[in-house]
Amino acid sequence: MNVRKLMLLALAVTVVGSLGLGAQAIKAGFIYVGPIGDYGWTHAHDVARRIVDEKYDWLSTVYVESVPEGEVETYIDQLVRQGCNVIFTTSFGFIDGTYAAAQRYPNVIFAHASGFKRAPNMATYMADFYQVYYLNGLMAGALTKTGKIGYVAAFPIPELKRHISAFTIGVREVNPTAEVHVRWIYEWYNPAAAKEATEALIAEGCDVFAFTEDSPTVIQVAAERGFTSFAHYSPMYVFAPDYVVSGQLVHWEVIYDDFLVKVHNGTYTTKNLAHVDYWWLMAQNAASMGAEMGMPVNPKYVAPLKAFTVNHPQFGRISVYDLVFLRYNQFADPGITFDPFEGPIYDRKGNLVVPKGMWMSYDHLITMEWAARGVVGPWPGEP
């Protein structure tokens, strides 16, 4: 073999090599805070992981479940050692570990769910439910007979405060005197505490239930007593087909799909993620309404919702069923024309929190601490 042939060979190798780099295979690692069997947050992320994993042959995925917050860096180290070039960390508490790892591994792409720290190789993403909670609230307001709706809540953090207030604003839009009674259980997953809280709310006279907890417990306990409820995070229709009205469903796969395709085609690199922040709602189909995929409202509840009409300041006489889908379409429109937190809004202490004609900004939404009018119960950190 002469020198020329050798050089040609070298050139060929270089070309092929660089082509390979241009459309590189992606190994994505997912780090979860809970067990994948929790039927809530972690379960939903894992369902999404499997969907994108099956969809693309250039993508392989691995996951680690039940990772304590302080240990996230250890697991990132191990995933990088295994050859992961994209790593998703799916809990707010992973924020600093992910950020530190992003500094240590500048050639790995990181994405952190629900956080706010970004770097050239670290993006953030979130699929939020506040619009869906508002829609659920409209239905709950129409269905309550006692005027008391029970809400079993995990932790008093802005995310839940935003959701409960959006829910309550929906309730009050169709039922101006109804109340939303809140019980905090200080756990993301604790069926025993959720059961206890639901029973306490039943004793207070609540007859419709919504919740933020990663199990179908609230639905089951309410159904035993013949009370209706709204599912949270995963399809929960099967747990009480006669009593689950609707609920909130998440589709993390639309975010993972978009992100990974952009990494694969070179749009996202380890240099340009400092401003990549997904805040995806119903318009992007990251969040949707329903107790089951493809069932926005349980057919059993269509007639009662159509029968309940209100005199709406904007739309005149309208059934709650029609109002829900009118709002639904407003949210689904990419040029959203309505927001539940449209001013003027007063909190339950009477302070003006959103001035007339204004909407809350992203920063307002993710740091929200106040409680909407109609919320009853303790509210740690209330301004």
Partner 1 sequence: MKRLGPFVLERRLAPPRHVVFGVSLLAVVVALLLAALVFWAYGVSPVRAYSEIGRGTLGTVGGLSDIVRRAIPLILCGVGLTLSFRAQFWNIGAEGQLLAGAVAATGVALFVRVPDGFRLPLMFLAGFSAGAVWALIPALLRVKLRVNEVISTLMMNYIMAYIVEWLVHGPWKGPTMRGFAYTDMFPVAARLPYLTGTRIHWPTLVVGVAAAILVALLLARTRLGYEIRVVGQSPDAARYAGINFTTVLALALVVSGGLAALAGVGEVAGVHWRLRSPGHVSMGYGYTAIIVAWLARGSPLAAIFTALLFGLIFAAGDLMKTTLGLPFQITGVFNGLILFSLISSDLLMYWRVRLASKEKAWTGQAGS
The smaller minimum CB distance to partner 1, of residues 46 and 253, is found at 46
When asked if residue 83 is in the footprint of partner 1 (CB under 8 A), the reply is no
Question: Measuring CA to CA, which residue among 286, 257, 275, 280 is closest to residue 117?
Answer: 275
The smaller minimum CB distance to partner 1, of residues 81 and 275, is found at 81
One residue of 77, 224, 242, 333 binding partner 1 per CB under 8 A: 77
The smaller minimum CB distance to partner 1, of residues 29 and 235, is found at 29
The smaller minimum CB distance to partner 1, of residues 154 and 260, is found at 154
Rounded CA gap, 181 and 183, in Å?
7
Three-class SS state of 269? coil
C-alpha triplet 189, 194, 200: angle, nearest 5° = 160
When asked if residue 75 is in the footprint of partner 1 (CB under 8 A), the reply is yes
> For residues 220-249, which are near partner 1 according to CB under 8 A?
none
Cross-strand bridge partners of residue 309: 319
Residue 61 near residue 88 (C-beta atoms within 8 A): no
The smaller minimum CB distance to partner 1, of residues 7 and 100, is found at 100
> For residues 89-108, which are near partner 1 according to CB under 8 A?
92-93, 96
Show the DSSP H helices in 234-332 as ranges. 252-264, 302-307, 320-332
When asked if residue 74 is in the footprint of partner 1 (CB under 8 A), the reply is yes
Minimal distance, residue 104 CB to partner 1, in Å = 10
Cross-strand bridge partners of residue 211: 152
Minimal distance, residue 241 CB to partner 1, in Å = 30
When asked if residue 366 is in the footprint of partner 1 (CB under 8 A), the reply is yes
User: At residue 144, what are phi and psi to the nearest 5 degrees?
Assistant: -75, 140
Minimal distance, residue 4 CB to partner 1, in Å = 44
Query: How many residues are given for the chain?
Result: 383
Angle between helices 158-174 and 320-332 (to 10 degrees): 140
When asked if residue 176 is in the footprint of partner 1 (CB under 8 A), the reply is no
One residue of 155, 279, 325, 338 binding partner 1 per CB under 8 A: 155
Three-class SS state of 23? coil
- The two tokens of residue 29 are 């690692």
> For residues 156-175, which are near partner 1 according to CB under 8 A?
156-158, 161
Rounded CA gap, 278 and 213, in Å?
24
* Residue entry with tokens 């417990």: 217
The smaller minimum CB distance to partner 1, of residues 65 and 204, is found at 65
How many residues touch partner 1 under the rule CB under 8 A: the total is 35
Residue 207 near residue 176 (C-beta atoms within 8 A): no
One residue of 4, 5, 81, 271 binding partner 1 per CB under 8 A: 81
Residues at the site binding partner 1, with contacts judged by CB under 8 A: 35-36, 62-66, 68-71, 73-75, 77-79, 81-82, 92-93, 96, 116, 155-158, 161, 186, 366-369, 380-381
